[in-house]
Amino acid sequence: MKVTVVGAGNVGATCADVLAYREIANEVILVDIKEGVAEGKALDVWQKAPINLYDTRTTGVTNDYEKTAGSDVVVITSGLPRKPGMTRDDLIETNAGIVKSVTEQVIKYSPEAIIVIVSNPLDVMTYQAHISSKLPRTKVIGMAGILDTARYRAFLAEELNVSPKDIQAVLMGGHGDTMVPLPRYTTVGGIPVTELIEKDKLDAIIERTKFGGGELVKLMGTSAWYAPGSAAAQMVEAIVRDQKRVFPVCIKLDGEYGIDDCYLGVPVILGKNGVEKVIELDLNSDEKALLEDSRLHVKEVMAVLERLS
Ligand SMILES: NC(=O)C1=CN([C@@H]2O[C@H](COP(=O)(O)OP(=O)(O)OC[C@H]3O[C@@H](n4cnc5c(N)ncnc54)[C@H](O)[C@@H]3O)[C@@H](O)[C@H]2O)C=CC1
Ligand SMILES: O=C([O-])CC(=O)C(=O)O
């Protein structure tokens, strides 16, 4: 299995590292526009192989898409990260141009690839890659839900003093402040979370999750990379190993949840064909209202993209 990661910055390099040391792919190509960056980071990951004992070949290139030919999965992380005081949506103008040109080059050499978008604003960059690639919607998907759910699970594990491994959760909607965590579908070792935590504490964790990306931007002056890079690699693993994992993933909705023509995070089954099924939960009226807020927000940002192009 061959996987290309475009953007050898914080998230892209982390993703390539996880793909290599967990031997998720046989071959990883790291691409960046900045001369030497991808080559250097790929070489560094390869030099770690004898220490951490893996044999995934990792190669870096500067804008040379011929080397990415025949990739099974392409992860796109190229683009600006936000700085303190910015929203993800503020990145749209620069990142739309980057995602468009990268997608066009990737698809030229890997027409059968499944594309995983990471660049922000996530839902609308997935839209951009979908229209630029002309691939079916099931093969152009965005990474956000695994990360947002991981933050929610990590905060709950800390509060309840349990292993994060035992917390299962699902989170829907856009990757932003309007994301929709679903306490009704959150369990701790099979026990509904609402039986283990007071409502005000759970509400505080949900609020912290919604602003989880911003919390890290404030601390570091740029956005997160360890959890995002690992989350993207987990999506790649589900695809290349045909694992049929159930994850929240951003995809264009075509009638599911009564929503048409909008890119939103929803639970899906992820396997070798990309999204193999969108799982439709029976949402209650409060959850439906939150999802509708999220849809309206993403639609507004989609309209900005349409005006730009
Ligand atoms: N979906 C999500 O949950 C998350 C999304 N992100 C987003 O991922 C993106 C990357 O974040 P970082 O890695 O932290 O940024 P970074 O600045 O560390 O890396 C971005 C890399 O993209 C490269 N690049 C720019 N234009 C390019 C082009 N045309 N072709 C190839 N490479 C190009 C840059 O040279 C740089 O090395 C940002 O847009 C950020 O907002 C970050 C974390 C989570
Ligand atoms: O917050 C950001 O800008 C990066 C991101 O999407 C996240 O970490 O959730």
Give pLDDT tens digits for 38-52.
999 999 999 999 999
Give the chain's length.
Answer: 309
- Which listed CATH number (3.30.870.10, 3.90.110.10, 3.40.50.2300, 3.40.50.620) goes with 145-308? 3.90.110.10
- Which listed CATH number (3.40.50.720, 1.10.10.60, 3.40.50.261, 3.40.50.12780) goes with 2-144? 3.40.50.720
Torsion of CA 35, 118, 75, 246, to 10 degrees: 160
Q: What percent of the chain has pLDDT over 70?
A: 100
User: Which of the residues in the chain have pLDDT under 70?
Assistant: none
Q: How far apart are the first and last CA of the chain?
A: 34
pLDDT tens string 255-274: 999 999 999 999 999 999 99
Predicted local distance difference test score (pLDDT) of residue 130: 98
Residue 191's DSSP bridge partners are 188
Helix or strand (DSSP H, E) at 254: strand 245-254
At residue 191, φ and ψ (nearest 5 deg) are -95, 130
**Tokens read off for 150:** 């991981």
Cβ of 220 less than 6 Å from ligand 1: no
Nearest to 236 by CA among 86, 14, 9: 14
On whether ipTM exceeds 0.90, the answer is yes
Rounded to whole angstroms, the maximal C-alpha distance in the chain is 55
Atom from ligand 2 closest to the CA of residue 120: 6
| Active site positions, annotated | 175
Helical ranges in the chain per DSSP H: 10-21, 37-52, 92-109, 122-133, 145-160, 199-210, 212-220, 226-240, 285-308
Cβ of 6 less than 6 Å from ligand 1: yes
CA of 212 to the centre of ligand 2 (A): 8
9 is in an annotated binding site: yes
Predicted local distance difference test score (pLDDT) of residue 181: 86
* Domain locations along the chain: 2-144, 145-308
Predicted local distance difference test score (pLDDT) of residue 309: 83
CA of 143 to the centre of ligand 2 (A): 11
Asked if 2-144 and 145-308 have one fold, the answer is no
| Pocket residues: Cβ below 6 A from ligand 2 | 81-82, 88, 120, 147, 175, 213-214, 216-217, 223-224, 228
Atom from ligand 2 closest to the CA of residue 227: 8
Q: Which ligand places an atom closest to the C-alpha of 217?
A: 2
CA of 29 to the centre of ligand 1 (A): 16
Query: Do residues 16 and 28 make contact, with C-beta atoms less than 8 angstroms apart?
Result: yes
One-letter amino acid for residue 86 of the chain: M
Total Cβ atoms within 10 A of residue 23:
14
Cβ of 12 less than 6 Å from ligand 1: yes
Q: Which ligand places an atom closest to the C-alpha of 143?
A: 1
Under DSSP, is residue 14 helix (H, G, I), strand (E, B) or coil?
A: helix
Q: Which residue has the CA at smallest separation from atom 8 of ligand 2?
A: 213
